[in-house]
A and B are shown apart, each in its own frame.
Chain A
Amino acid sequence: MEPFRRVAGIAAPLDRPNVDTDQIIPKQFLKRIERSGYGPFLFNDWRYHADGSENLEFELNRHPWRHAPVLLTGRNFGCGSSREHAAWALEDYGVRAVVAPSFGDIFHTNALKIGLLPVRIPEAVVARWIDLAIEEPGLEMVVDLEQGYVEFAGERQPIDIDEHTRARLLEGLDDIALSLQQSDVIAAFEAQRPRWLPQTSALR
């Protein structure tokens, strides 16, 4: 995983609550077996008309929000399906951080796993920031994980993140390697599992 330390850039406002992962990346793009290349399909049904032309009403198709590194949006962003493709599509498109009042739990985890930073900021602040971003489209946001703050239009908000996750993101550490260091403890746990638990070998 790439480390996440600090990002400064334009914040694109997407003023709607409950943006589900079906909108972030529609199902027809989940058939691919690759890990990369989902950016062109991000928000596909909102971004393009049926004939494939761009929908110029859609925020991310408007200057200067195209390929903005920060997305500023409503509560419960990334709810619904567990598809990590949603986080991959945002990452591939160039988004580094998503700022919202709240997130779907699975999306939140998926994003952190790949170094895309979800930042929870109080709803009243987000609403104000979205209005400001629309009024003054060129405004930049600073997301500084090292110092632990987000700053927009002169207003600072703390980044609420546990120390463990923060350290992993700053270092770009591989979670699986960390767990594999516990192999002996895992083996000891396995030795005392109840014998009635199911096994799938017989189903092969």
Chain B
Amino acid sequence: MPTTLFDKIWRSHVVHDDDGVVLLYIDLHLVHEVTSPQAFEALRLAGRRVRRPDLTVATMDHNVPTTDRSLPITDAVSRQQMETLTANCAEFGIACFGIGDPRNGIVHIIGPELGLSLPGMTMVCGDSHTSTHGAFGALAFGIGTSEVEHVLATQTLPQRVPRTMEVRVDGARGFGVTAKDLILGVIGAIGVDGATGHVIEYTGAAIRDLSMEGRMTVCNMSIEAGARAGLIAPDDTTIEYLGDRPAAPKGAAWDEAVAAWRELRSDDGAAYDRAVIFDAAEIAPQVTWGTNPAQVAPVTGAVPHPDQWENASDRAAVQRALDYMGLAPGVPLQEITIDRVFIGSCTNSRIEDLRAAADVVRGHRVAASVHAMVVPGSARVRRQAEAEGLHQVFLDAGFEWREPGCSMCLGMNPDVLAERERCASTSNRNFEGRQGKNGRTHLVSPPMAAAAAITGHLVDVRTLGASPVATGAV
């Protein structure tokens, strides 16, 4: 019987099957400072050890300041959380990339760039955007702290088999349309719970055409449609990306790995529980107008009217979102002025994202009314961007060029929006208060964020003239 990519990965990781409750082996466990302290503490209390510290790696990303790293961290509670991670990793023998480590960065940026995220693996992290690593054809999903403890102690997780869903994106992206726009378009169509209980496999020409960076952006936001995970079958693009990564297999092991990866795809005729089809050519650059990622529209559109929703509870929810966002129905999206621009987060802070934003920024100035910043996803991305001179493009235009971290994606560190400040952000969540209490977030792609920084309002990047985005760089 033809099977899906998901089935193949799942079946090769079943340790034990107790009447539908499967004990699934976990090949790699990523750890960060926020969701792990209680798990380590529980291990200690129960007198348990970490079964496979050699399949575990930790980084600090959520709390870290993105300003001068030589200064002491002023937030005592944040500092304690980071010190706790250092101490836990030392006690249990786990590699940990703290502030200042050249390998430090956002957990979902460093796994791929080190070559730790490989096709066919199972990966977990106490973080919902673990779905990012699915771009490599790895089954990667977010877990809670009790499950973090479970994986630390056993390197397995009890799981029930999820349903599968194919999201096929045919055709070719238009000028100025990025991976971020594709996934926002998909989420807008299927809804924030459109894939709940499912593992998505992204297929189709528009997905194949994406770089690894673009594929990571797509898989990253799978969780914003409620999916357990997102997957893209590995191909030449994947293998080429992995070739010289530090932790990727070498020599004969590499050849064996590539041979295995070549088999990793859904068979012709494999059945998914659900399937939806999109045409990339019909997706324009997207902007969110509300307080969840499905409340999104093409940048050429306008703020919708709550009456467009059929049921009363949905109408109330849309009205609530508009009140929170300080927006009136019917206002063209491009007339919305902004105060802040954030280019960063595990969705859009990889090197190609920064290149695409810099291409729009080059030769322009940030509008006087806008405070804009670029926060690279990792120390490695930052070094590479500096080697390419991208930081100078941003600095010359009036952007701040920061140290790596999650930063204003969730504002656990000092990078937060003030009350009612409006931000064009390349992150993944426009939830109420996400970037700061009563802050207002519009999710966009990196070129769209750059364009908004220059003009001071949401704007269709395609109208700013020729941009190398059109070459498919993102």
Contacts and interface: CB of A to CB of B under 8 A. Distances in A.
Genuine A/B complex:
yes
Contacts of B223: 80
Nearest to B14: A189
B445 to A, nearest CB: 21
B156 A200 contact: no
Instruction: Indicate the size class of the contact surface on chain B.
Output: 35 or more
A118 interface: no
Given A84-B35, A104-B226, A110-B144, A186 B155 contact: yes
A176 B429 contact: no
Given A178-B158, A198-B247, 18 more contacts: A18-B292, A20-B429, A22-B429, A45-B437, A76-B196, A80-B431, A81-B127, A84-B38, A84-B146, A162-B21, A175-B146, A176-B48, A176-B150, A179-B158, A185-B16, A190-B155, A196-B257, A201-B53
B369 interface: no
B197 interface: yes
Contacts of A69: none
Contact of A189 (B15, B62, B94, B257): B15
Contact of B143 (A18, A28, A106, A196): A106
A203 B84 contact: no
B193 A109 contact: no
A196 B239 CA distance: 14
B196 A105 contact: yes
19 contacts: A22-B433, A30-B34, A30-B62, A31-B81, A45-B433, A82-B142, A84-B35, A87-B144, A113-B146, A164-B19, A175-B158, A179-B154, A182-B156, A190-B25, A196-B249, A196-B256, A198-B118, A198-B248, A200-B53
Contacts, number: 219
A113 B196 contact: no
A79 interface: yes
Contacts of B93: 204
Contact of A109 (B75, B147, B149): B147
Given A27-B412, A33-B38, A45 B15 contact: no
B78 interface: yes
A160 to B, nearest CB: 13
A194 B252 CA distance: 12
B23 A80 contact: no
B171 interface: no
B316 A22 contact: no
Interface in A52-66: none
Interface residues of A, number: 64
B128 A80 contact: yes
Contacts of B53: 200-201
Interface string B130-160: 0000000000001111110110011110101
B228 A16 contact: no
A39 interface: no
B432 A105 contact: no
Nearest to A178: B158
A50 B142 CA distance: 32
A126 B196 CA distance: 19
A15 B317 CA distance: 9
B433 A23 contact: yes
B63 interface: yes
A137 interface: no
Contact of A26 (B118, B257, B313, B433): B433
A23 B248 CA distance: 39
A107 to B, nearest CB: 8
Interface string B105-141: 0000000001110100100001110000000000000
A22 B431 CA distance: 7
Given A106-B143, A114-B146, A186 B154 contact: yes
Given A23-B433, A84-B144, A31 B57 contact: no
B193 A76 contact: yes
Interface string B412-439: 1000000100000000010111100100
A172 interface: no
Contacts of A20: 292, 429, 431
B410 interface: yes
Q: Which of B18, B116, B433 is the most central at the interface, judged by chain A CB atoms within 10 Å of its CB?
A: B433
Contacts of B387: none
B406 to A, nearest CB: 10
